[in-house]
Amino acid sequence: MRFLQAIVSCVVFMTATVSVNANEQVVVKDGNTTLTFEEFADTVTRWTPQMREAAIADEGDRLELINLALANKKLAEEADDYIAENPQFKMEYLNGLRAYQRDFMLRKVSASIEMPDFAELAEEQYTVKKDKYALIPERRISSHILFSSPPGVPRDNLMVEAQEVLDQLRAGANFREMVNLHSDEPGAAQKGGKFNRWIRFGEQGVSPRYSEGLFSIENVGEYSELVNSEFGIHIIRLDGIQEKSYKSFEEVKGNMIKELEDEYRRLAMKDFVAQFQMSEGTVIDNEAIQAILEPYTAQE
């Protein structure tokens, strides 16, 4: 608490000594480490809304946040002294700084790109690439009878049994009765064998073979051929079809424009980065490069 009170004293003291340039005004001072008005104002912009609310409403929270900002600057200042005492880390340190500088430039340039109005182009793309942007694929719902069989177990006898049941169903046997008699799926009798889920072809979370079997059926009420999956053997009945349809342009407009903007930004950034590639006047000391790579030759 004494430490935090000392911080308050520093803040009050430095607030009383206003600099001519507000950005250079020192608002926190602890020994040789200071936070200027500009530094701390920038730090506050990076706080979450909750952190800013806490700093406004509670003096203790505010002091903790000031303490954190000050500690961060002290740690950063410590880096130069550390590198002076540990020169073996110098290039790691410098390369880390360069990586940040590179990323900083890329972020700022990317954010400054002025976007054209892509609304008209999006509408054109909607017309010529409707399947890509607006397609709602056909979906199907089904019921099935499962003859359970773990993978790796011979299914010859089970296939014969399942084929007999399929033949009876196609001859007019009652599906629900056959579910009650033959399905090994837990709860199948209560559900009447229903797979209570509309699925599209290749639906994630559905056995690919089940999906293929379901979408091979031509008409509602008809049955698939026997389908072998990792769960066993299925007889699938097609219970309903939702035909494919298309979303309106207004429904997909936002996503389409974002995709066009992302591609525009990607190409603009590619052009920006290209200007920093090696020029025709670049000189390379191949002997030095080879010497650097030599120790790794035997390792690769």
pLDDT tens-digit series, residues 127-170: 999 999 999 999 999 999 999 999 889 999 999 999 999 999 99
Residue 24 has a pLDDT of 84
CATH 3.40.50.300: does it fit domain 138-243? no
Per-residue pLDDT at 1 exceeds 50: no
pTM of the model: 0.68
Q: What percent of the chain has pLDDT over 70?
A: 92
Lookup result for tokens 């091979």: 216
Strand partners for 232: 148, 229
> pLDDT per residue over 254-300, tens digit each?
999 999 999 999 999 999 999 999 999 999 999 999 999 998 987 66
β-pairing, 232-242 with 245-246? unpaired
User: Do 33 and 74 touch, CB atoms closer than 8 A?
Assistant: yes
Structure letter (DSSP) for residue 23: G
> pLDDT per residue over 164-221, tens digit each?
999 999 999 999 999 999 999 999 999 999 998 999 999 999 999 999 999 999 999 9
User: Do 260 and 122 touch, CB atoms closer than 8 A?
Assistant: yes
User: Do 144 and 237 touch, CB atoms closer than 8 A?
Assistant: yes
- Residue spans in the chain of domains classed CATH 3.10.50.40: 138-243
User: Do 26 and 34 touch, CB atoms closer than 8 A?
Assistant: yes
Structure letter (DSSP) for residue 201: T
> In a 3-state reduction of DSSP, which class is residue 71?
helix
Mean pLDDT of 70-96: 95
In which band, very low, low, confident or very high, does the pLDDT at 88 lie, cut at 50, 70 and 90? Answer: very high
Q: How far are the Cα atoms of 70, 124, 262 from residue 118, in angstroms, in the given order?
A: 46, 10, 11
Per-residue pLDDT at 17 exceeds 80: no
